[in-house]
């Protein structure tokens, strides 16, 4: 009998241990896409959340039901499904169900000028701009870091701007840091925020550093919103630089801000929730200047592509950024064919500043310095490598050798602002930040061109840098001619050096090379 009791006790302890292990298994955030034929009929968020919570309880076996999943978003317009915290076992079991199309881990995405209309040749007297009446009947939903409307003339509603179109059903959310009644008007007609996915992913939220509201504490969303639909502002500029009239591309359009991006990024679940809200609110255009950090995911795993597809089905134009990477292959994001993907171009202005050496040599670069002029006094120039750090790393510069001097810094990983701050902390009078030349390669047709190294750094005058160019046929059989042309352009943002490329090969298809 004692033996049986001992066995029973052992089994009980093992069962308790297994249950405890299940309870402590880590949960992560997932987006669960449900087949429309199995989706709840209601589109009300609260009823959907209840239905999907019941679905999880009924679907998950008792052996993996703990820890209990938590549904924090339900989707009915931008997608069909929900976002929840699940364990790996729970996610795998759900994906095996016939009612579930896909279970995708919630991932973090990252955030990717005033003369643009005239720079593009757009006219205020003819063409699309005047014919659209300033787009006064259009509401642009900006999915970004929120908006900072306080004392911003770009978001002021002029007396001639009528109420928003009746089809728009959005609203502004009030919080202690976002006074909707004071900030929202006939220009800013909507302001909401989505943070559930971010909090689940990061484990919390520091309200001393960020505002849990539509208020933009980053600046990115305010910038993109004013670029899209900012009202005309006379005398705009950065201190004394580039003064003139600043106006958005569609100055009559209304803005609805959907804040999904926070200090560490933007989660897919929050982005999809913003798409859902924007569709319900009745926006005409969705602008999203954010996306993946690397290669674009396949469409069926791409939250932006899924949300944009549902929006396009409702007649909403979705414009999204191509990304901040390049010009290498596979660096463009938001490439679904139903998205209007916007790439970066150039601007038609510069902010030149000249460094004059003691021997009279002059070097022109860029600067946004707004302090007092240095005058005619000659200030010693030292190289960062001789005073502690060639890249001017914080804490590495010798203050006794830097104080009162201008420091020349090589390109570093910390960025120009951090380098300048490091020189300032060491007592320096100023910094000259050397730039690196990077290649912009236009590959000849049928040929892949690679350049190594991808950055040329110069820390001394009369210095020569070598680089290697490799040509490789694409092997797709698309080229049959025996010559093709391209170019390689090195640029540091101020100076450019362009070299043409001509490639010849025997007169047979590339695939046979």
CATH number at residue 51: 3.30.70.80
DSSP annotation string for 288-315 = E-EE-SSSPPPGGG-HHHHHHHHHHHTT
> Does residue 337 lie in a domain region?
yes
Closest by alpha carbon to 351, among 368, 371, 370?
368
pLDDT on residue 14: 43
Domain that holds residue 128: 109-342
> Does residue 10 lie in a domain region?
no
How far apart are the C-alpha atoms of 244 and 232, rounded to whole Å? 10
| Contact call for residues 85 and 23 (beta carbons, < 8 A) | no
How far apart are the C-alpha atoms of 289 and 146, rounded to whole Å? 12
209 pLDDT band, cuts 50/70/90, is confident
Closest by alpha carbon to 83, among 267, 282, 287?
267
Q: Is the pLDDT of residue 309 over 50?
A: yes
117 pLDDT band, cuts 50/70/90, is low
143 and 279: one domain? Answer: yes
- Residue 75, judged by CB atoms within 10 A of its CB (0-12, 13-18, 19+), counts as buried
DSSP annotation string for 36-93 = GGGS-S---HHHHHHHHHHHHHHHS-GGG--SPPEEEEEESSS-SEEEEEE-HHHHHH
CA angle 321/341/100 to nearest 5° reads: 90
91 and 208: one domain? Answer: no
Backbone φ, ψ for residue 172 (5° rounding): -105, 135
286 and 382: one domain? Answer: no
How far apart are the C-alpha atoms of 496 and 367, rounded to whole Å? 18
| Contact call for residues 160 and 186 (beta carbons, < 8 A) | no
Backbone φ, ψ for residue 121 (5° rounding): 80, 20
Q: Which residue has the tokens 């592509």?
A: 305
494 pLDDT band, cuts 50/70/90, is low
CATH number at residue 451: 2.60.40.2310
Domain tally, the chain? 4
301: left (phi > 0), else alpha (psi -120 to 50), else beta? alpha
**In whole numbers, what is the pLDDT of the chain averaged over residues?**
83
pLDDT on residue 463: 61
> Does residue 268 lie in a domain region?
yes
Closest by alpha carbon to 95, among 103, 87, 86?
103
269 and 389: one domain? Answer: no
Q: Which of 342, 365, 385 is the last residue of a domain?
A: 342
* Tokens read off for 158: 């002029």
166 and 294: one domain? Answer: yes
Q: Is the pLDDT of residue 471 over 90?
A: no
For 340, the 3-state DSSP assignment is strand
pLDDT on residue 485: 65
Q: Which residue has the higher pLDDT, 133 or 57?
A: 57
pLDDT on residue 113: 52
302 and 402: one domain? Answer: no
pLDDT on residue 248: 87
Span 448-472, average pLDDT? 66
pLDDT on residue 332: 87
Q: Is the pLDDT of residue 247 over 60?
A: yes
243 and 333: one domain? Answer: yes
Q: Is the pLDDT of residue 126 over 70?
A: no
Q: Which residue has the tokens 């959310």?
A: 173
pLDDT on residue 238: 76
Span 112-134, average pLDDT? 65
214 and 120: one domain? Answer: yes
Q: Is the pLDDT of residue 506 over 70?
A: no
> Does residue 2 lie in a domain region?
no
Torsion of CA 19, 23, 28, 29, to 10 degrees: 100
Instruction: Judge if the upstream peptide bond of residue 453 is cis by omega within 30 degrees of 0.
Output: yes
How far apart are the C-alpha atoms of 511 and 513, rounded to whole Å? 6
N- to C-terminal Cα separation, the chain: 83
Q: Which of 313, 342, 371 is the last residue of a domain?
A: 342
Q: Is the pLDDT of residue 383 over 60?
A: yes
> Does residue 459 lie in a domain region?
yes
How far apart are the C-alpha atoms of 362 and 377, rounded to whole Å? 16
The DSSP call for residue 402 is: H
How far apart are the C-alpha atoms of 38 and 221, rounded to whole Å? 37
Backbone φ, ψ for residue 272 (5° rounding): -65, -35
Residue ranges of alpha helices (H) inside 75-140 are 88-95, 116-119, 128-131
Q: Report the Cα 318 to chain-centroid distance in Å.
A: 15
420 and 441: one domain? Answer: no
Among 6-20, 199-213, 364-378, 387-401, which stretch is predicted with the lowest mean pLDDT?
A: 6-20
> Does residue 8 lie in a domain region?
no
52 and 116: one domain? Answer: no
CATH number at residue 251: 3.40.50.200
pLDDT on residue 79: 95
- pTM score, two decimals? 0.73
| Contact call for residues 148 and 219 (beta carbons, < 8 A) | yes
Q: Which residue has the tokens 């007396």?
A: 159
Closest by alpha carbon to 225, among 150, 307, 288, 137?
288
Q: Report the Cα 55 to chain-centroid distance in Å.
A: 34
Q: Provide, rounded to the nearest whole percent, the portion of the chain with pLDDT above 90.
A: 52
360 and 338: one domain? Answer: no
> Does residue 18 lie in a domain region?
no
| Contact call for residues 307 and 80 (beta carbons, < 8 A) | no
Closest by alpha carbon to 452, among 431, 467, 436, 434?
467
443 and 320: one domain? Answer: no
Q: Which residue has the higher pLDDT, 209 or 22?
A: 209
Taking CA atoms, 158 is separated from 134, 166, 187, in Å, by: 13, 19, 8
Q: Which residue has the tokens 């034929």?
A: 37
Q: Which of 382, 406, 433 is the last residue of a domain?
A: 433
Backbone φ, ψ for residue 38 (5° rounding): -110, 5
pLDDT on residue 492: 62
| Contact call for residues 230 and 117 (beta carbons, < 8 A) | no
153-181 residue pLDDT tens: 999 998 889 999 999 999 999 999 999 99
The β-bridge partners of 254 are 139
Among 72-76, 197-201, 442-446, 452-456, which stretch is predicted with the lowest mean pLDDT?
A: 442-446
> Does residue 315 lie in a domain region?
yes
């Amino acid at each position: 009998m004692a033996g049986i009791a001992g066995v029973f006790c052992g089994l009980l302890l093992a069962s308790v241990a297994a249950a405890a292990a299940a309870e402590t298994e880590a949960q992560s955030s997932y987006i669960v896409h449900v087949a429309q034929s199995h989706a709840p009929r209601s589109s009300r968020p609260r009823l959907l959340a209840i239905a999907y919570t019941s679905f999880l309880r009924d679907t998950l076996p008792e052996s993996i039901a703990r820890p209990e999943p938590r549904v924090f978003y339900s989707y009915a317009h931008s997608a069909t499904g929900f976002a929840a915290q699940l364990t790996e076992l729970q996610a795998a079991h759900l994906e095996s169900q016939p009612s579930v199309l896909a279970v995708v881990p919630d991932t973090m995405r990252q955030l990717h000028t005033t003369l643009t209309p005239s720079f593009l040749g757009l006219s205020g007297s003819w063409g699309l701009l005047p014919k659209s009446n300033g787009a006064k009947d259009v509401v642009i939903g900006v999915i970004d870091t929120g908006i900072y409307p306080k004392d911003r003339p770009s978001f002021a509603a002029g007396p001639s701007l009528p109420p928003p179109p009746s089809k728009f059903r959005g609203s502004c959310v009030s919080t202690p840091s976002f006074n909707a009644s004071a900030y929202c008007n006939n220009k800013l007609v909507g302001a909401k925020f989505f943070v559930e996915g971010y909090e689940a992913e990061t484990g919390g939220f520091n309200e001393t550093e960020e505002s849990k509201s539509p208020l933009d504490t980053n600046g990115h969303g305010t910038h993109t919103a004013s670029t899209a639909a900012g009202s005309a502002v006379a005398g705009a500029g950065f201190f004394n630089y580039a003064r003139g009239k600043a106006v958005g591309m569609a100055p009559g359009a209304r803005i609805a801000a959907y804040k999904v991006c926070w200090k560490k990024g933007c989660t897919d679940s929050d982005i999809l929730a913003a798409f859902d809200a924007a569709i319900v609110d009745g926006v005409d255009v969705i602008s999203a200047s954010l996306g993946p950090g690397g290669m674009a995911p396949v469409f069926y795993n791409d939250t932006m592509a899924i949300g944009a597809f549902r929006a396009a089905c409702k007649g909403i134009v979705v414009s999204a950024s191509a990304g901040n990477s390049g010009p290498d292959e596979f660096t463009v994001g938001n490439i679904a064919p139903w998205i209007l993907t916007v790439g970066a171009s150039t601007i038609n202005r510069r902010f030149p500043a000249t460094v004059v050496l003691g021997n009279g040599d002059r070097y022109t670069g860029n600067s946004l310095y707004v302090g007092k002029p240095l005058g005619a006094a000659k200030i010693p120039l030292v190289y960062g490598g001789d005073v502690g750090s060639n890249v001017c790393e914080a804490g590495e510069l010798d203050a006794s050798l830097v104080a009162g001097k201008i420091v020349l810094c090589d390109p570093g990983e910390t960025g120009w602002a951090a380098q300048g701050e490091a020189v300032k902390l060491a007592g320096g009078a100023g910094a000259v930040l050397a730039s690196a030349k990077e290649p912009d390669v236009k590959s000849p047709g049928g040929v892949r061109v690679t350049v190594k190294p991808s950055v040329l750094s110069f820390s001394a005058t009369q210095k020569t840098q070598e680089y290697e160019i490799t040509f490789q046929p694409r092997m797709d059989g698309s080229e049959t001619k025996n010559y093709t042309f391209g170019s390689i352009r090195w640029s540091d943002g101020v100076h450019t050096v362009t070299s043409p490329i001509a490639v010849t090969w025997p007169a047979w298809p590339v695939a046979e090379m």
